[in-house]
């Protein structure tokens, strides 16, 4: 199987995994999804333009207040590397909603290496650009594939750091208002509720002060380990420049 096909299959597997995990833990995920939608709604309220909104990392729309976006903007563009069938169908049936399949890692068919170029897809100019629970997720599939290829942990970290930094720099260069929601820390808890491990999913990237933070019970006890849980500390900015 070619590298491109392996990546495509991996992303389809990730999408199925997200949907399945949400079904198993919908109650645990509900506060996080509500907070995410709230930040996007705040961004809509603060946005001056009303022509186009672009949502990066829309996926199965679990954290997307789509009806609010459609009510506020003439055009809404959902961007992800893989879209569920119901989302694609909704786009086909609407003149206002557009569903764009694009690799937001900017890697494309390039080999996975620490020297890879970041070549983001060409997206329509927008009044509001939303990076939605995406930035820290961009390295996950490539890193899994690199690990299978025997790439060293140090080179994996270097690759991931460059990818996260490049996405953030690209976001900040967009002309419209930027709404950013991303996890900033991953915390493993034992059964006593004690933090036993912390991980920086942004690989040293320092975000501006401000924003709103909350903790997402991403993997309750038993999902990943019988003796602990994994939470994400998430930060959201309705207007990254505000």
Query: By CB neighbour count within 10 A (0-12 exposed, 13-18 middle, 19+ buried), where does 150 fall?
Result: exposed
Number of domains in the chain: 1
Residue 26 lies in domain: 3-182
Average pLDDT score over the chain: 91
Write down the H helix ranges in the chain.
Answer: 3-24, 26-46, 66-72, 85-92, 140-148, 153-172
**Residue 170 is assigned to a structural domain of this protein:** yes
- Let me know if residue 115 belongs to a domain: yes
pLDDT digits (tens, 9 = 90+) for 102-127: 989 877 655 665 566 677 788 889 99
Instruction: Work out the number of other CB atoms within 10 angstroms of the CB of residue 80.
Output: 24
Specify if 219 maps to a domain: no
**Residue 208 within a domain:** no
Is the residue at 153 inside a domain?
A: yes
Residue 110 within a domain: yes
In this structure, is residue 62 part of a structural domain? yes
Provide the token pair at 5.
Answer: 């096909």
CA distances from 30 to 54, 177, 179, 217 (A): 23, 26, 20, 9
What are 11's strand-pairing partners? Answer: none
pLDDT, position 146: 85
CATH of the domain at 73: 3.40.50.150
What residues in the chain have per-residue pLDDT under 70? 1-6, 108-117, 242
Is the residue at 123 inside a domain?
yes
DSSP 110: S
């Amino acid at each position: 199987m070619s590298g491109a096909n392996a990546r495509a299959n991996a992303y389809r597997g990730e999408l199925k995994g997200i949907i399945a995990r949400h079904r198993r833990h919908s109650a645990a995920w509900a506060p996080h999804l509500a907070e995410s939608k709230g930040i996007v709604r705040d961004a809509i309220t603060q946005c001056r333009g009303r022509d186009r909104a672009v949502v990066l990392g829309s996926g199965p729309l679990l954290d997307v207040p789509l009806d609010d976006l459609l009510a506020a903007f003439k055009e809404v563009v959902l961007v992800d590397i893989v879209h569920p069938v119901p989302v694609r169908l909704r786009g086909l049936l609407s003149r206002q909603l557009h569903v764009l399949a694009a690799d937001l890692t900017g890697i494309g068919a390039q080999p996975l290496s620490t020297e890879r170029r970041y070549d983001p897809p060409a997206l329509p100019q927008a009044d509001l650009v939303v990076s939605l629970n995406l930035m820290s997720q961009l390295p996950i599939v490539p890193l899994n594939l690199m690990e299978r290829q025997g790439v060293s942990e140090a080179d994996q970290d270097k690759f991931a750091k460059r990818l996260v930094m490049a996405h953030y720099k690209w976001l900040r260069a967009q002309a419209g208002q930027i709404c950013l929601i991303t996890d900033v820390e991953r915390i493993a808890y034992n059964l006593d509720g004690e933090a036993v491990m912390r991980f920086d999913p942004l690989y040293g990237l320092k975000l501006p002060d401000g924003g709103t933070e909350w903790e997402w019970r991403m993997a309750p006890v038993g999902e990943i380990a019988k003796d602990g849980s994994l939470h994400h500390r998430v930060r959201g900015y309705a207007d990254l420049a505000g």
